[in-house]
Each structure stands twice: as structure tokens, then as C-alpha cells.
Amino acid sequence: MVRRGGLVAFPTETVYGLGADTFNEAAVLGIFRAKGRPPDNPLIVHIASMDDFWLVARSVPESAWRLAERAWPGPLTIVVPRDPRVPRSVTAGLDSVAVRMPAHPVALELIKASETPIAAPSANISGRPSPTRAEHVVSDLCDRIDLVIDGGETFMGVESTIIDFTRDPPVLLRPGPYPVDKVEEIIGSKVIVTNQARGFGEADRPLAPGMKYKHYSPDTPLVLVEYTGDLEELVESVRSHVARALKEGKRPAILASDETRSRYRDLEERGAKVLSMGSRRSLAVVARRLYHGLRLVDEIGVDLAVVEGYPEEGIGLAIMNRLRKAAMTFPVTT
């Protein structure tokens, strides 16, 4: 299907991707049409072997190659100079290309069977929460693409970490499951973490997916209450927003952690919906549930959702990046 120019949704360890032959510009442009994706938002090229790296990269810094050898297959994307064979539609006109080798057997087999690198963003309508289940893909894109491969729920739930090696020192463009400190350990140098990588502000010209435009958002308005280190203050701030919504006659929802869910029982009795995202002691579980939870907000029929913030440690940085892109952010207020 990919070799014939089709669009195929497939599972990776992070989220479902919507793939096309990297070197087939008509097929690549079909991705943008199907998703309603802005043309200045670059795609990630997925490969199945280290040899494939040279099909799409003009050059690879030694540190980037060493990192790829250690981290791939895995949830890490490396940005390097683009080989001229890669259509500019894939890279949104940039002279760099974002490349990764997914750690999912279905994804790897698809790339190998297609005999070409596969360009793929997440398999959702642009701006919506990314899909972690085949049913999410079908809900968004069933009549716009050629095939959906159902590989069950994805393992990690948030998109790959993206590191830009066209700059020295390297720069984190998007946090994800692969830890920045592990990258630094392997390459032997610091990685710059900007405010944009933390989810604040937008790039004028995005160098990688997720750097511009509103992303990951449910249709329901989403309020993020930032976590500043005091869980009691966080809970009281969430309660304040929800109580105000109830007073205004709105139907609110709370995206809570296992540790705080019971603190909203009285608000639930007054009509608020409470969804648990997992334990604050296991942020990997919160990450895995994140997009499904954001999609549930639309399904349960509420007017507003309030979500708790998390510490920016490990994959917590990726969680907060996604929530800040998806929501209206509020500081803790009591």
C-alpha cells in the first residue's frame, strides 16, 4: 500500500502514525490534506535500519550517530542535514530532516515491507489529541486514508523526544519518553532545553512537529493548573476553578491523579465528572493515559475540563509540554 502511494495508519511505541512513502511527494502531500496539517509543520521520517539513515540524511554528526546506535530502535528523533532526495514537502522547506527508528514490531515490519523510509506524523486531525488506539484513528480519519493497522494500545502514549543536531550544542525541540539526561550521557555534552521545549510560546518557523500551533487539544475547553511543588495548593486551585464552573451552571470535568481523586468527591456529587490519569508516583502511566483521557473529555459531554499539572521530571517534562500546548494555563490560585 505504501509503495503504491497509499496512506497507512500504523502503531509505534509512542502513538499511531500516518505514513506515506517519503520519496513520493504526492503521497506526502496527501498526509497534509488528510490531517488538515499546515504545510510549514515538518514530518518525521521513520526508518528500519542504520543503513536507511543515509537515504535521507546528507551528513550525520559523530555524536548523533553514536546516540542513534545506542537509542534506536526507540522513542528518539534526531534532526540532521537533509539529503536532497528527500522532498521539501516532508521537511516543510527546511534543509534539515527529522529521523527515527521506531521500537514497534509492526512499524518496523511495515517499513521493511514497503522498502522505503516512511514519512509519518501522528494519525489524527491536526490539533487534536494524538491517537494511542486504532479506534482514535478511525474516529478522526476513517474516510480520509487507505488503511489502519490495529496494533492495540501504544506502549508510551506521547510522541518521541526530538533532538536537533544541526546546532552545537544540540537543542531539545520536543521532550518525550527518551530522557534528556540519557542523551547527554551518551553524547558527552549538554543539550539545550528551551522554554519552547517546555511548552511555552511558539516557534515562528517550526523545526520539528509540535513547535507551532495549538496541539493535542480536545474540542472541550481545557484549563491546566500548574504544579508548583505543593499538592495541597494544586488541589485547592483545581477545586476553585471547578466550583466556579458549577456555580455558573456549567458541566465541568476534572483530570485528576490517583492520589487526589478522592479530594473532589463532593464536587462529583454536585455534578462534576472526575477522571483518573494514574498515580503521580508513576508518570509513565500518566503519559500513556494522557491522550485517551483528553479524548474522553469530549465523549462524556462536559463544558469545561480542569487538569492537574505534574512535576517536570523525566517524562513529566513531556506531559507538561503536551498539556501546555493543549490548554489554557493557570497558576495555582486558592
Alpha carbons 312 and 316: distance in angstroms, whole number: 5
pLDDT score, position 204: 61
pLDDT score, position 334: 43
Q: Calculate the alpha carbon distances from 250 to 23, 236, 298, 299, 309 in Å.
A: 50, 19, 14, 16, 22
Beta bridge partners of 10: 17
Residue with cell 491523579: 257
pLDDT score, position 72: 98
DSSP-assigned states of every residue in 191-202? -EE-TTTTT-S-
pLDDT score, position 185: 98
Question: In sequence order, what are the residues at sequence separation of 6 or more whose Cβ sits closer than 8 angstroms to the Cβ of residue 168?
Answer: none
pLDDT score, position 190: 97
- Looking at residue 162, its amino acid is I
Q: What is the pLDDT of residues 275-304, one digit of tens each?
A: 999 999 999 999 999 999 999 999 999 999
Below-70 pLDDT ranges, the chain: 202-206, 210-214, 329-334
CA dihedral (227, 229, 230, 235) in degrees, to 10, reads 20
pLDDT score, position 210: 61
Domains and CATH numbers, the chain: 8-193 (3.90.870.10), 222-330 (3.40.50.11030)
* Prediction pTM value: 0.94
